[in-house]
Amino acid sequence: MTETKDTTKGTKLGLSRPSKLELNKTVEKGQVRQSFSHGRSKMVTVEVKKKRSFERDSGGHMAEVKGAPLGEELKIQELVQPEPEIVEVEEAAALSNLTNEERAARVKALESARVANAEAAEKARLEAERKALEPDPEPEPEPEPEPEVISEPDPKPEPVPEETAPPAPVVDTARAVKEPAEADADRRPRNKKGAKVDPRKQQAPARPRMEPRRRSGKLTISEALEEQEGRQRSLASVKRQRDKEREKMMEARSEGKKVVREVVIPEVITVQELANRMAERAVDVIKVLMKMDVMAAPTQVIDTDTAELVVGEFGHKFKRVSEADVEIGLRGIEDDSSTLQTRAPVVTIMGHVDHGKTSLLDALRETDVAGHEAGGITQHIGAYQVTMPSGAKISFLDTPGHAAFTEMRSRGAKATDIVVLCVAADDGIMPQTIEAIHHAQAANVPIIVAINKIDKPDADANRVRTDLLQHDIQVEEVGGDVLAIEVSALKKLNLEKLEEAILLQAELLDLKANPDRPAEGVVVEAKMEQGRGSVATVLIQRGTLRVGDIFVAGKEWGRVRAMFDAHGVALDEAGPSVPVEVLGLGGTPDAGNEVTAVDSEGRAREVSEFRKRRDKAAASAASARGSLEQMFERIKEGEAETLPIVLKADVHGSVEAIIGALDKLGTDEVKVQVLHSGVGGINESDVTLARASGAPIIGFNVRANPQARDLANQDNVELRYYSIIYNLTDDLKQVLSGMLAPEIRETYLGNAKIREVFNITKVGRVAGCIVTDGQVKRGSQVRLIRDDVVIHEGELSQLKRFKDDAKEVKDGTECGMAFANYQDIQVGDVIECFDVEEVARQL
């Protein structure tokens, strides 16, 4: 501590006559510099007050005692000796201009000085305490006035950190000055009661407590929260960081550094929107478009290719997105094997209408334990779940006409796990039975044969097993792997065996699903009911659908308001393989539409609107989806190697003859695939199968009924009628010929020799040639031959005769040639010119 005292005394204030009332100044002021850690310091005003002592003089009058003992003044001067200053503000500022070695040396010297000063202060304090406790050998008559040091704080004191102890010199100086004065005032001090105390038995005074200084100022809520929860980042700090980032970006722009951004480009975008995404001015974007010969206003829409070129001109990276990207991630990720749980099998019963399929469905529903407990089935919603006496569950789908089954397969949604083929034991294999077999085989679904009506007298189950061999179905009795169960829906015979066979097949398939995820399923059937709105029968395939979930079903979306099972019982949730009736759709979806639960209404609305636009665009397309012309285009693009058709004829013999003639047309490269053939008119089932497979329907001496004809017109399925077998085979032979890869033929035109090579601005290298053989045509294919080795094959970009463009140059004539995207030409090279043509192959 450094102390500077100003001891200027004022003049006496008194009357003109002596021995009257006088007023003398007894306070001396001075300035003291306090030093803190980290080089901080401040000036403090210090006042020294002296007591005025009076005693009687030789004349008996009271007179003031002047002066103080010499020893006491020395003590005071010794105790208030100023502490040397460790780090001044100027020195702290000078540290920033030093090197690392000089700064380290300076800091080391300052640390050693600080330690030495601290030791000296502690030693002085202990010495002062020791002297204060020692008795004075020679008592003095009266003590001199005791100086008192009063520290007056600064009006705005600087807060000191709590972990830093207050400076010892200031506190110790006041204590050291006061204690010797009290000790000298009375040789034998007194206690609180006034009795004298022996100094040798007096205990040493306690040392000052090294406690943190009390809080100065008011306590705010933010300070209290910071003490309890720790220091948090303030809004001002965040703002300062943002300002620094903004300044860095401005500096980068001023220095000419380009900020590269990833610009997302949709299918259509306006000029202004593109400029905003690149963080560029719209005027600059328009200038770039003008260089491309594109005159556009800021509000004008440009295509993706143009926007991509503009983004490249500005040096940014582009990312093209399609409108169909709204469906990306809609079905979610694949489930981990650890999350899968066993689910109930989904079974579809198919077969001829008169073979007892409806009776078998009713008989299986009556075996439902839950149905009997609930008092019977209250309604039939097209799908239901049966609980076996053993506790196992089986879900059945009712698909009359196989419409929903074909729709599911056409959209890639495999909703059915097992197909139960119902065949009457007395009638055997019928045309619609064959259709059901073809549907199941096309979907690659295992089949279980239920031979029904075995209670009839003319039932022959063995004949049914034998007839199934003609359709690639081999039952276990004849050495195959297909289960065949003899049942009677009317007498309810062997229904338990049929259910056990279904569970056995399901166990072999190892059917599992994850119930802990958003629901996904398929629409079995949908209808509009008065008072209930659009009602859809949904089969959950994986995940769990709950009341209140937002879902998308094909082109429609909605929120689940209520769910009911086959018994009319309201459900709160439905897991995998559970068919439910769902209310809450905004419209009626189609059978076979996929159902997916989404997280928000916005996502559901985007997907629904996109699908509506897509279907509308597909419906307005001029070409038919099942026409032979469009199929020929797909064949040319290499998308098809087989030609699928649906064949219907008047008699069985015609069917066999046509199939045999079509088999002879096929080769190793292409062939005709008959998806379904039968006898009789074209019905709705044929149209549904043809639409799902994208195949035309061939009718030989038969016609489609009105319902099938209307359905074919609605679904754009082509119907072709023939009465002569040769016309039918010729048309199909033409289509198969188009499936063959065309033959490539070259036609030689001529040669030219390079005599000189010229470099022309904006064109590149141009060869000055003379035609040595044949002729050269512009736009034809050329080969560059050097030392009898072909080094390049491409097209001629320019062919000139003097300064004019020429279509062809004949033998013995000079000309100039330029190659497309090729510049490595030399004098002496030979240019061979030829034409390429594709010749269609014939069967």
Task: Supply the pLDDT for residue 169.
Answer: 44
Task: Supply the pLDDT for residue 373.
Answer: 39
Q: Which residue has the higher pLDDT, 648 or 83?
A: 648
Task: Supply the pLDDT for residue 552.
Answer: 93
Residues 731, 807: one domain?
no
- Mean pLDDT, to the nearest integer, of 208-233? 59
Q: Is 619 part of a structural domain of the chain?
A: no
- Burial pattern 601-630, b for ≥16 Cβ within 10 A else e, equals eebbbbbbebbeeeeeeeeeeeebebebeb
pLDDT band at 748, cuts 50/70/90? confident
DSSP, res 262? E
Of 304, 321, 338, which residue is a domain's last?
321
Of 695, 723, 739, which residue is a domain's last?
739
Residues 271, 363: one domain?
no
Task: Supply the pLDDT for residue 565.
Answer: 86
- Mean pLDDT, to the nearest integer, of 332-338? 80
Residues 179, 295: one domain?
no
The per-residue DSSP string of 676-728 comes to EEEES-B-HHHHHHHHHHT--EEEES--B-HHHHHHHHHHT--EEEESSHHHH
pLDDT band at 59, cuts 50/70/90? confident
Contact in structure between 454 and 461 (CB atoms under 8 Å): yes
Task: Supply the pLDDT for residue 722.
Answer: 92
Of 473, 495, 510, which residue is a domain's last?
510
Q: Is 727 part of a structural domain of the chain?
A: yes
Q: Which residue has the higher pLDDT, 162 or 598?
A: 598
Task: Supply the pLDDT for residue 1.
Answer: 42
**Residue 562: pLDDT over 90:** yes
Number of domains in the chain: 5
**Residue 547: pLDDT over 90:** yes
Contact in structure between 770 and 801 (CB atoms under 8 Å): no
pLDDT band at 557, cuts 50/70/90? very high
Q: Is 438 part of a structural domain of the chain?
A: yes
Give the whole-angstrom CA distance, residue 416 versus residue 620: 33
Q: Is 468 part of a structural domain of the chain?
A: yes
- Mean pLDDT, to the nearest integer, of 497-505? 90
- Mean pLDDT, to the nearest integer, of 801-825? 85
- Mean pLDDT, to the nearest integer, of 136-156? 46
Residues 42, 186: one domain?
yes
**Residue 92: pLDDT over 80:** no
Tell me the torsion sign for CA atoms 597, 603, 608, 614: negative
Residues 290, 171: one domain?
no
Phi and psi dihedrals of 108, rounded to 5?
-65, -45
- Mean pLDDT, to the nearest integer, of 447-452? 91
The most confident of the ranges 202-216, 324-338, 776-790 is 776-790
Residues 366, 275: one domain?
no
Q: Which residue has the tokens 């463009």?
A: 805
Residues 792, 659: one domain?
no
Find the CATH number of the domain harbouring 478. 3.40.50.300
Task: Supply the pLDDT for residue 254.
Answer: 65
Owning domain of residue 683: 628-739
Give the whole-angstrom CA distance, residue 697 versus residue 686: 8
Task: Supply the pLDDT for residue 646.
Answer: 92
Residues 287, 142: one domain?
no
- Mean pLDDT, to the nearest integer, of 258-266? 79
Residues 369, 279: one domain?
no
Q: Which residue has the higher pLDDT, 57 or 158?
A: 57
Q: Is 597 part of a structural domain of the chain?
A: no
Residues 751, 830: one domain?
yes
**Residue 710: pLDDT over 60:** yes
Give the whole-angstrom CA distance, residue 383 versus residue 258: 63
Contact in structure between 599 and 550 (CB atoms under 8 Å): yes
pLDDT band at 97, cuts 50/70/90? low
Task: Supply the pLDDT for residue 640.
Answer: 52
Q: Which residue has the higher pLDDT, 16 or 318?
A: 318
Among 265-269, 285-289, 401-405, 627-631, name the one with the lowest average pLDDT: 401-405
The per-residue DSSP string of 283-344 comes to HHHHHHHHHTT----TT-EEEHHHHHHHHHHTT-EEEE--GGGGGTTSS-PPPPGGG-EE--
- For residue 363, give every residue at least 6 positions away whose Cβ sits within 8 Å of its Cβ, in sequence order, or none: 489, 492, 495
Residues 820, 780: one domain?
yes
756 beta partners: 768
Mean pLDDT across the chain, nearest whole number?
A: 76
Q: Which residue has the higher pLDDT, 454 or 128?
A: 454
Q: How many CA atoms lie within 13 A of 328 on its CB side?
A: 6
Residues 750, 706: one domain?
no
Among 68-72, 316-320, 669-673, name the one with the lowest average pLDDT: 68-72
Contact in structure between 522 and 594 (CB atoms under 8 Å): yes
Contact in structure between 517 and 599 (CB atoms under 8 Å): no
